[in-house]
Structure formats: structure tokens, C-alpha cells
Chains A and B, each alone.
Chain A
Amino acid sequence: MGGGVRPVLRKIWLRQFLLQGCWNYEGMQNVGFAYCMLPALREQYKGRPEELIRALKRHLEFFNTHPAMAGVVLGASVRLEERVAEGEADPRAIGTFKVGLMGSLGAIGDSYFWGALKPMAAAAGAILSLVHPLLGIAALLLLYNVSHLAIRYRGFVAGTEGEERAARFLRGEGLARKTEDRKLVAAILGGAYAGVIGSRTALMFGGIATAAAVLVVAALLVHLFSTFFRKAVSPSELLLFLLVVGTLTLW
């Protein structure tokens, strides 16, 4: 984030944390995106209010991607707007670029952050909170945010270096490999958590044979629940079923 526009870029980088501040079903992150771009647009279209309004309207069009990946598009849009303001690029190129990139960034971000990093951090937090609550919380926040903040920063910097560099960022980060790795760690931690829960239950009964039976039942339950999840049954529905069973037991 070097050069004369440094304070503006810093402002935009910080504003990206409010990208979803006015999330809505029609334009999704559109108001947030325009808000992030505002400092750059004000500088680029200084003394040209009509062009500033036209630029703002461009950024109030539909936009939706994974919030942690939006920095790439934001950085590149600042760069593109600079060229549009200087008359070197067609304003329509910005819309095309944003639409072209937001889908793939969203898919990669959802898969990495929601599908791999969050389960890994959550499972680590849940296990370590058995040792001490604060240790669990620290593990959850650190494991998630080290990667999250680094990608937000690197993505934004790559974006400000131009749209080609922004597109290359996706390959350079190696997020597909990282997703696989995090999923593997999440599976190990999830398995460890299930093992601890199973052994606690087995200890209530005692005996090796009973313990083996408890392990088999626990593994079958995990398998059954995950089969339900694959068939789009919500965890809430399964928990409500357990609530009904519990109420009937009491009754």
C-alpha cells in the first residue's frame, strides 16, 4: 500500500470490514462496496461531482462475494477507477471485472473459510475449552484470524497492483491446497472430539466390552447424523426431534 494514495488505501482497507453493513436481498453487498470505494472516488473525481455520482452508481450495482475475499476486488476496482478517471479505460470494464471475479472469489472463499478454516478453528476451540475456556476461545480466534486477516491484506494489496495481479492472486495463494489441508485437520480434530465424548459416556458404564459397544454406537450415530445432513436435514430439526424424545421420556 505505497505511494501518494496511501491514506486513502488504508481507509478503504479498514472500510472493507463494514462491507456487509447494509446487506440486503436485492443488491446484497452493494451499499457496503460503494461505501468502501467512496474515499478513492472522492479523490479521483475531485471537482467533478457528476462523474463522482456516476461512479458511485456503478458501485451500487449488485455485488456479492465472500467478505474476506472482497479486498481483491476492492483493490482492483480502485486501480480501474483511477484509469477511468484519467480517461484511459471504459467505465463498463469495472462492472465486467467485478461480475467476472466475484463469483469465483465467493466460491473459493466459501469453501476455504466456511467449509475448512471455520470447522478447523471451531473444533480446536471446542476441544481446548475442555482444558480451559479461555484457551479454547484463544485457539478459535487465533486459528481463524491469522489466516483471515492475512488473506484480506494480501488480497487487497494484490488488487491494487492491477486486475491481472488480482486474478493471479487466486492461483498464487494456493487456496485449493490449503482448503484440503484445513479439512484434514478439521477431520482429525472432529474425530478427536467425538472420541473424547464417546469415552466419557463409556466410562459411565465401565468394562471393555461395553466400551467397544459404546464406540460402535457413537460412530454409527455420527454416520447417521452426517447422512441426514447430506440429505439437507437441518441440525435444528434433529435437535427438535431429540427435544420431542426428551419430552416424551419425561411424560
Chain B
Amino acid sequence: MIWSILLAAVLGGICYLDRTAAFQVMLHRPLVVASIMGAVFGDLAAGAQVGAVLELLYLVRLPVGASIPPDDTGAAVFGGAAAAVASSSIGLDGGSFTSILLLSVPCAELGKLADRFVRRANGRIARLTLESVERGDSEAVRHGLLAGLCLFAASGVALSLLFAGLGVSLSGVLLPRFGPESREQLSALLPAIPLLGAASVFSCSRTEKTAPVFYLTMTAVFAATFLFRWAG
């Protein structure tokens, strides 16, 4: 398990770099990250299930200007690890699924704080870079960028280590203490969480034209899938 957590930290660190510092090719999205974590801890499909829900939850918070959205990458590291471990121990039932999704929120908020800290520290690096350039050292720009990248990477690895460890502990220690009845009660909240994700997509895409399209599609797909499964 220790090796899995260390591997999760390294892979998580790479995904974290994609979030702000480098590439931005969506390797940091919850669906990707939670699936990777699921694979590392032995169940890719369980990780992907959690990742698919987390993928949509925070879309409405845009990383515009200096605003930092909640850290959905961190939530996915936690959720993917927890889901895979739960699936191989108590089973990924509705109650476990709901608890994992809801308990990923503190991770998302903690990751946001860490991101803010790194960006503040980068301010010092940027000032030192400017001072060195003023003294005639053009290489300082490369060193400054490298220092910033290392800081983002170190923060990503540390957060991934923490969140993967927390995810494993949740599913390995905490969730089994709750009986099936308690988990069954908690699963009543489950449908509300993906609907929050759908509302997030709706809010991002909302215009006069798209609002009726959203509700019409929702009704049509609901009716089609319900009747297909009900009749079948």
C-alpha cells in the first residue's frame, strides 16, 4: 500500500502541474485523475465512477484572473483512491459513494488554500528574478520559471500524498465502522450530488436559447431511459 500511495503522489504531482503551471491539456480533470488513482489502487472503474461525478461539480467556478476555484484535482485524488479501496473491501455501495463525494469537499478547499500559498511564494520568486535581471543576469528568467514550476510540482506531490493517504484511510478504516444500515441511509442523498454537477454545466452554458434545450433534453432522455429499462 505504501508503494501505491507513493506512486499516486508522483502521478498526482504530474496531473497537478497540468492544472496551472504547465500544458493545460486537461490531465488534471477529475475524471482523468480519479481514474488514474483508481488504477493505482486496483480498480480503475470505481475511480472513474467517482471522477465522473466530480468532473462536473466545480465547473461553475471559473479560474478567471486571480480567482482560484476549489481544487477538484485534489478532490479526485482523494475520491479515486477512496473508491478503489472501498470497492475491494466493503464494496462501493450508494452510502460509501455518497460519503466519498461529500468528504472530498474539505480536500478541494484545502487544495485551494495550498494553491494560493504557492502563488504568493511565486511572487517572491518573480521579484528576485526581476532584481537579478536588473543586475544583468538574463539566465535568472529561466531559473525563476524553473523555481516556480518546482514549487507547483512539490505542492502537487505533497497534496496528492496527503489526499491519497486520507482516501485510503477513509475507506480502509472509517467507512467499515459504519454498518450497512447507516450507509443505506446516507445513500438517500446520492442523486442530489450528480444533479448538482448537471446544474453546474447548466449554469456555465446558460443562455436564453440553451435553457429550454437543457430541460427538454433532460425530459426526453429521462423518459427514454426510464421506459426502456422499465419495460425491459
Smallest beta-carbon distance B167→chain A, Å: 16
Number of interface residues of A (CB under 8 A): 98
Identify which of B103, B213, B221 gathers the most chain A CB atoms within 10 Å of its CB: B221
- What B residues does A122 contact at CB under 8 A? 29, 31, 55-56, 59, 201
Pairwise interchain contact B129-A60, C-beta atoms closer than 8 A: yes
Q: Chain A contacts of B222 at CB under 8 A?
A: 194-196, 198-199, 202, 211, 215, 218
Q: How far is the CB of B204 from chain A (nearest CB, A)?
A: 4
Q: Is the contact region of chain A dominated by helix, strand, or loop, or is it mixed? A: helix
A187 interface residue, CB < 8 Å from B? yes
- Binary flags per residue of B92-113, CB closer than 8 Å to A gives 1, else 0: 0000001101110100110000
* Chain B hits for A27, CB < 8 A: 123, 126
Segment at the interface with B among A3-11, A81-89, A136-144, A155-163 = A136-144
Partner of B218, one of A114, A133, A191: A191
Tell me whether A203 is interfacial, beta carbon within 8 Å. Answer: yes
Q: Is A57 engaged at the interface, CB distance under 8 Å to the other chain?
A: yes
Q: Does B173 contact A (CB under 8 A)?
A: no
Q: Give Cα A238–Cα B194 distance, bound, in whole angstroms.
A: 12
Beta-carbon contact of A34 and B57 below 8 Å: no
- State A27–B141 Cα separation when bound (angstroms): 13
Given A24-B126, A31-B126, A52-B138; A195-B217 close (CB under 8 Å): yes
For the residues of B in contact with A, the DSSP-based class is: helix
CA distance A203 to B229 in the complex (A): 8
A-B contacts, 9 listed (Cβ < 8 Å): A23-B21, A116-B204, A125-B31, A187-B217, A193-B194, A194-B202, A199-B223, A201-B191, A206-B230
Binding site for A on B (CB under 8 A): 20-27, 29, 31-32, 35, 38, 44-45, 47-49, 51-53, 55-66, 70, 98-99, 101-103, 105, 108-109, 119-120, 122-123, 125-127, 129-130, 133-134, 136, 138, 141-142, 144-149, 152, 178, 182, 185-186, 188-189, 191-207, 209-211, 213-226, 229-230
Which residues of chain A have a CB within 8 Å of any CB of chain B? 17-18, 20-28, 30-32, 34-35, 38, 42, 49, 52-53, 56-57, 60, 64, 67-68, 106, 110, 114-116, 118-123, 125-126, 129-130, 133-134, 136-137, 140-141, 144-145, 148-149, 180, 183-184, 186-203, 206, 211, 215, 218-219, 221-226, 229-230, 234-236, 238-240, 242-243, 245-246, 249-250
